[in-house]
Structure 1
């Protein structure tokens, strides 16, 4: 289907199709490994402790905002410099971004260690008090390795900017498969603690990135290996000027998405976190497929827009809209087949909640609709309106989600999220049409 939709002699489209194909293959590995990991950890921990585990791992992802948008800024500026064949600028951009990320990670680690050492993690995660020391230790370890990944991940950013996002996806898949194998062996032959599970999960995630960093900077990226003498304040300002906007948007989206887990944990209880997390992971398949297909659009849009190739951009959007309709149909089929799949997957530990599945599906449908256009906007740097809208949504989300959860339980939290994704699915296509037709003015053009 993808080959039929994207068939063209255009070199950019060929790269797009090739990377989309491999991303889907690698994401298939992600889906299988994640599903199996859920089964293993849920059976071992039980519903309540599994809910605490999910809340902990979700909380750790909050620290991704500490790159203050440098990765996204580098991605755009690197693609622009490469289109201009400015090799010296590329070397400076890479070194500047790397040492900036290194400094931020060290600073973040010190702050988190000082604060986290004196924090009651059981209260934070709404878990049992007897786990407070273990949760503190595993939380600090997982955050520490996350900061290491933040620095090493520059290699995945560069491959993505080079229109090879399938490499970054492969690294993620490798980490997930290692996590699955490691935790399976740990549970099979030992009676692991939360700390041991967290150590295996964290090391498994960072190992592929470390290997890739060493491999690529010893080979294809050898000439742009980060060196402190290439650090440039002017290039830092260049990266930061657009990167900081991405940072704010990333942080606000993280608040909206990850606060749902914490709100459900505290208002509805850990059991509701498990129900929500399972339904979310089950339907996440369509988001994974959609993300695999639109992921190459970011850097491809940067190149196409710089070359004023608006015909290609219109054609690719038309084709992606057809893919969207196919994925909606797949989502409907997943809901109808959920009872059968839950029995095989979860072995009766959790029953199907059809209303929960439907609401999450609705939220994902609107998310897929707007994220295609957002990927283009990110690629061309037209994100001022996105920043404004997301700021309002983030300010309103937590209080509205708490109120909704008190009245409508977990369903209320999802309904608030649906409100935002529906609104985004309306205005973002409008901005795309205005930019492509060169009629965008004011905030629509920034």
Structure 2
């Protein structure tokens, strides 16, 4: 039997499946099929990475909560949340690289692609150094014991050392985050996912060893966030081997200023969008810790992580579509965008609803197995986290579409509305009712208000025109 007849490679199976999906006609049909293949490959690799990442999240609670105690565990979760909260310090340049790289790839100009990638990474390196100086200066001015309401001076010193460790890793991760985004623009998102999976595999035994030896919090930061930062260097080496990243003299000569300006302009919009995400979730531990105390952060963290599998799974499905939307936009192929958007929103909403209901129903048993009755998570908090998981899944799928078609200004206005509603509402409701679930309900309310006013009320025609779903604005 010929070799090709005996082959049963996953790629061949995927090609057979995608022939049944609605594609374009003529030359676009082959591109549509190839885009879906790349997205499926990315989703498959992301599923491996997500499963391992979820295992790290689950086991980090089981391993460390018994010996850290509720207060120290809450502090560690607060420090861990800084990875999302401080990502705005890359000024949005990493996200701005995705569409610029996708446009350069469409033109098949390797010289332009190499120039954009190299200049973007160098710019992010400079931003990382500057961010490090700012963060260290801020740390010297803060009173951690008062800020997080820590009772023990010894625990406060441990928290400070853990935060300094995190800052060093975070500043290194700023240019490496840009490297990851380059692969999204190249429609090769599966490579960062596999590298992340390698990091999670390394973190699991390290977490176990830290738990066995009752290691202090700085070691926990190193064996989780630190390992992810270290493994990302693999991607930088790969770009160098493919001659997409080259450091040479005169790197900023010629069109260097124009490329830098384009990155900063696009990045500035992403910066404001990232600030909105911080208001949505990342600053919640700090707000809760300051108003209710660090011990309440532990309940919030466990409830959020209980439903984190939904967010991860939905990003696994929709995340790889960013580069695909950008490529289709560059070629003017609206039919692909329309079909993909419909499919993405339907699958995301249905899957998120099912998973959320299932996890909520099983949550008493899951929490008993997971935390060993070391922590009580009220049903009100679990219900709020379940609803938020569905809202976030739908919002993420739609945001990926908006990013891919470079429709950033409506997002900008939506973020402004969201921030104006979210932060005061969280502070007000937490102070009035004194239960941690209100920080999540505040996020849900602000998200719905902002989306309805901006996307449905103001920019509906303009947004849908990208997918030929409505008249051009």
Common topology (TM > 0.5): yes
| More moved, 204-213 vs 192-201 | 192-201
Q: 1:347 to 1:119 in 2, by over 3 A?
A: same
SS in 2 for 1:229: coil
Confirm or deny that 1:435 pairs with 2:458.
no
Residues 52-131 of structure 1 mapped to structure 2, 5 A cutoff: 52-130=75-153, 131=155
Q: Which residue of 2 aligns with 1:184?
A: 208
- Note if contact 2:99-2:404 (Cα within 8 Å) is conserved in structure 1: yes
Confirm or deny that 1:219 pairs with 2:219.
no
Q: 1 CA distance for matches of 2:407 and 2:297? A: 36
- Note if contact 2:402-2:408 (Cα within 8 Å) is conserved in structure 1: yes
Structure 2: tracts of 5 or more residues without a match? 1-12, 22-29
Q: 1 CA distance for matches of 2:322 and 2:334? A: 15
Deviation of 1:114 after TM superposition, in Å, equals 2.7
Match of 1:14 among 19, 28, 37: 37
Deviation of 1:366 after TM superposition, in Å, equals 1.8
Q: 1 CA distance for matches of 2:178 and 2:249? A: 15
Aligned-residue Cα RMSD (Å) equals 2.2
Q: 1 CA distance for matches of 2:164 and 2:58? A: 26
- Note if contact 2:147-2:290 (Cα within 8 Å) is conserved in structure 1: no
Q: Which residue of 2 aligns with 1:329?
A: 354
What does the per-residue CA deviation read over 1:179-221, in whole Å, with 9 as the maximum and x for residues that have no partner? Answer: 3321211221x2322233333334322220123322x03422x
Deviation of 1:268 after TM superposition, in Å, equals 2.1
Q: 1:58 to 1:228 in 2, by over 3 A?
A: farther
Confirm or deny that 1:365 pairs with 2:354.
no
| More moved, 378-387 vs 117-126 | 117-126
Q: Which residue of 2 aligns with 1:161?
A: 185
- Note if contact 2:418-2:449 (Cα within 8 Å) is conserved in structure 1: no
Match of 2:446 among 390, 408, 420: 420
- Note if contact 1:65-1:251 (Cα within 8 Å) is conserved in structure 2: yes
- Note if contact 1:339-1:352 (Cα within 8 Å) is conserved in structure 2: no
Q: 2 CA distance for matches of 1:294 and 1:343? A: 32
Confirm or deny that 1:197 pairs with 2:229.
no
Q: Which residue of 1 aligns with 2:8?
A: none
Q: 1 CA distance for matches of 2:235 and 2:418? A: 37
Q: 1 CA distance for matches of 2:137 and 2:123? A: 22
Q: 2 CA distance for matches of 1:191 and 1:23? A: 32
Q: 1 CA distance for matches of 2:105 and 2:309? A: 34
Q: 2 CA distance for matches of 1:223 and 1:161? A: 13
Residues 33-44 of structure 1 mapped to structure 2, 5 A cutoff: 33-44=56-67
Confirm or deny that 1:230 pairs with 2:251.
yes
| More moved, 271-280 vs 7-16 | 7-16
Q: 2 CA distance for matches of 1:138 and 1:405? A: 28
Q: 1 CA distance for matches of 2:339 and 2:19? A: 9
Q: Which residue of 2 aligns with 1:410?
A: 436
Deviation of 1:424 after TM superposition, in Å, equals 5.2
What does the per-residue CA deviation read over 1:23-65, in whole Å, with 9 as the maximum and x for residues that have no partner? Answer: 1222111111211111111122111211111112213432211
What does the per-residue CA deviation read over 1:284-316, in whole Å, with 9 as the maximum and x for residues that have no partner? Answer: 111111000000111100011111211111211
Q: 1:291 to 1:19 in 2, by over 3 A?
A: same
Q: 2 CA distance for matches of 1:18 and 1:98? A: 26
What does the per-residue CA deviation read over 1:366-409, in whole Å, with 9 as the maximum and x for residues that have no partner? Answer: 22223212111111111111101201221332221011012232
Confirm or deny that 1:382 pairs with 2:382.
no
SS in 1 for 2:241: coil
- Note if contact 1:286-1:327 (Cα within 8 Å) is conserved in structure 2: yes
Q: 1:13 to 1:205 in 2, by over 3 A?
A: closer
Scaled by the length of structure 2, the TM-score of the pair is: 0.87
- Note if contact 1:276-1:410 (Cα within 8 Å) is conserved in structure 2: yes
- Note if contact 1:117-1:136 (Cα within 8 Å) is conserved in structure 2: no
Deviation of 1:99 after TM superposition, in Å, equals 1.6
Scaled by the length of structure 1, the TM-score of the pair is: 0.92
Structure 1: tracts of 5 or more residues without a match? 442-446
Q: Which residue of 1 aligns with 2:318?
A: 294
Confirm or deny that 1:261 pairs with 2:285.
yes
Q: Which residue of 1 aligns with 2:344?
A: 320
- Note if contact 1:69-1:246 (Cα within 8 Å) is conserved in structure 2: yes
- Note if contact 1:63-1:143 (Cα within 8 Å) is conserved in structure 2: no
Q: Which residue of 1 aligns with 2:270?
A: 246
- Note if contact 2:96-2:270 (Cα within 8 Å) is conserved in structure 1: yes
- Note if contact 2:89-2:131 (Cα within 8 Å) is conserved in structure 1: yes
Deviation of 1:5 after TM superposition, in Å, equals 8.2
Match of 1:341 among 366, 371, 380: 366
